[in-house]
Amino acid sequence: MFEFLLRMGDNTLVLGHRVSEWCGHSPVLEEDIALANIALDLIGQTRMWLGLAGEVEGQGRDADALAFRRDAWDFRNLLIVERPNRDYGHTLMRQFLFDLWHHERLADLCLSDDDRVAGIAAKCVKEADYHLERSKDLIIRLGDGTPESHARMQDALEAIWPYTGEMFENDALDQAMFEAGISPLPGSQKPRFDAALEDTLAKATLKRPENGFARKGGRKGVHSEDLGHLLASMQFLPRAYPDARW
Amino acid sequence: MVEAAQIWQWLSEVPDPEIPVLSLVDLGVIRAVEVMDGMVRIKVTPTYSGCPATTFINLDIEAKLRSKGIEKLQIEPQIAPPWSTDWIKPEAHEKLREYGIAPPRPGQPYCPRCGAADTELLSQFGSTPCKSHYRCTACLEPFDAFKCL
């Protein structure tokens, strides 16, 4: 259960941090505000998932301790969320693919037999709903935009595509969560994800990559180098000044 | 001994930190007030999970009740059922409009200045997590609208 909650909370924590890196750097003011707000939502959601994880673990660690005092190999997020921002097209494509998965995942967890999990999911799914609405809209606008924006979105899709396979992997932990009535198997989401993806990509005039290769490992703690760099900047302050208050 | 009704009355005097024309009671974030053996227990629900005002809301509740002489106080978060804009009190809608913010309604918001229904979305996110930015195509004024949640 602890590990399952880390998988949920680490996704929103790492993506929330990545998205917040745009703060003050976005192409236009409205986008800057939108990304900062999405980052806040994701970090707020993290507080609930990791807060519950700490409670379940029972070792006295709270959400902050879990966020700031674990190393890369203890993180259980999907690799897609630690991908660097690169250009705006990459950032939006990563967000769209994540939102599409995240929204379905949360909708499934609303039906969890565990009231605490269902409660957090019901809170988060409302936010995931408008995140997805926004990222879908932008993917369509930019995919079906100028030749330049179209090419960049197709590039971003090709680059990020291999990181979607990991979302639908069922391992022993997923099986245990399924048997305990806590969560449906992640793989059961795949047909719904594919159908929704097909629909948006068609409107965006983008082509789904043929490549079926999937990069995996994040959910077991095997990460790319990028996560280490992200944690170095995210965790520096609380590690250099433990228990600092202001 | 203090009654729950009195606590509700005091809380209806605590303004929301971001939208001060609304009280915390108007906003629907106070989910329960219990008084037992001199202990006041208040359940508060967050609006948007990432809303930075959540911490200040708890501080403001505490400050208000301490100033009224409440000593034993417990403020607990309650996330289920999740907060909804439907919980904003109907009388608060008018206060929002007067303040220049279109109250939440399904579909396009009406312009809070001229009342026109012809409005267009400028940005899904406004000055705070709870608002979107719109423009009225009749009077051309931009305005914030409460997001339906």
A122–B82 CB contact, under 8 Å: yes
| Stretch B69-75: mean pLDDT | 94
B1 pLDDT above the threshold of 80? no
B85 near B104, Cβ under 8 Å?
yes
A106 pLDDT above the threshold of 80? yes
A124–B123 CB contact, under 8 Å: no
Which contiguous run of DSSP H or E holds residue A67? helix A63-68
Q: Which residues of B touch A124 (CB under 8 A)?
A: 49
B48–A41 CB contact, under 8 Å: yes
How distant is the Cα of B3 from the closest Cα of chain A, in angstroms? 30
Determine, yes or no, domain membership for A245. no
Which pLDDT does position A122 carry in this prediction? 96
A40–B50 CB contact, under 8 Å: yes
A34–B123 CB contact, under 8 Å: yes
| Stretch A207-220: mean pLDDT | 93
Which pLDDT does position B125 carry in this prediction? 86
CA distance A33 to A29: 6
How distant is the Cα of B122 from the closest Cα of chain A, in angstroms? 8
B129–A40 CB contact, under 8 Å: yes
A24 pLDDT above the threshold of 80? yes
Which pLDDT does position B50 carry in this prediction? 82
Which pLDDT does position B30 carry in this prediction? 96
How distant is the Cα of B118 from the closest Cα of chain A, in angstroms? 21
Question: What order do you get walking across the sheet with B39-44 strand by strand?
Answer: B30-36, B39-44, B73-77
B50 → closest Cβ in A30, A42, A119: A42
Which pLDDT does position A245 carry in this prediction? 81
| Stretch A209-217: mean pLDDT | 92
A227 pLDDT above the threshold of 80? yes
How distant is the Cα of B82 from the closest Cα of chain A, in angstroms? 5
What would the pLDDT profile of A118-177 be if each residue is shown by its tens digit? 999 999 999 999 999 999 999 999 999 999 999 999 999 999 999 999 999 999 999 999
| Stretch A103-124: mean pLDDT | 97
| Stretch A61-82: mean pLDDT | 97
Which pLDDT does position A154 carry in this prediction? 98
CA distance A92 to B76: 36
- CB distance from A37 to chain B under 8 Å? yes
B124 → closest Cβ in A43, A126, A130: A130
Which contiguous run of DSSP H or E holds residue B36? strand B30-36
Closest residue in chain A to residue B83, using alpha carbons only: A123
Determine, yes or no, domain membership for A223. yes
Determine, yes or no, domain membership for A246. no
How distant is the Cα of A215 from the closest Cα of chain B, in angstroms? 30
B107 pLDDT above the threshold of 90? no
Determine, yes or no, domain membership for A212. no
| SS3 call for A30 | helix
Q: For A96-100, A222-226, B37-41, which range has the lowest pLDDT when averaged over its residues?
A: B37-41
What would the pLDDT profile of A32-64 be if each residue is shown by its tens digit? 999 999 999 999 999 999 999 999 999 999 999
| Stretch A177-197: mean pLDDT | 97
Which pLDDT does position B123 carry in this prediction? 86
A43 near A37, Cβ under 8 Å?
no
B110 near B102, Cβ under 8 Å?
yes
Q: Which residues of A touch B125 (CB under 8 A)?
A: 30, 33-34, 37-38
- CB distance from A110 to chain B under 8 Å? no
What would the pLDDT profile of B5-62 be if each residue is shown by its tens digit? 999 999 999 999 989 999 999 999 999 999 998 899 999 999 888 888 888 999 999 9
Determine, yes or no, domain membership for A19. yes
Determine, yes or no, domain membership for A229. yes
B129–A39 CB contact, under 8 Å: no
Residues spanned by the domain of A47: 2-207+217-240
Left (φ > 0), alpha (ψ -120 to 50) or beta: where does A159 sit?
Answer: alpha
Q: Which domains does chain B have, with CATH numbers?
A: 4-83 (3.30.300.130), 101-146 (no CATH)
Q: Which residues of A touch B82 (CB under 8 A)?
A: 119, 122-123, 126
CATH number at residue A128: 1.20.1260.10
Number of domains in chain A: 1
Determine, yes or no, domain membership for A91. yes
Left (φ > 0), alpha (ψ -120 to 50) or beta: where does B125 sit?
Answer: beta
A44–B122 CB contact, under 8 Å: no
More confident residue, B130 or B112: B112
Which pLDDT does position B7 carry in this prediction? 95
Which pLDDT does position A105 carry in this prediction? 97
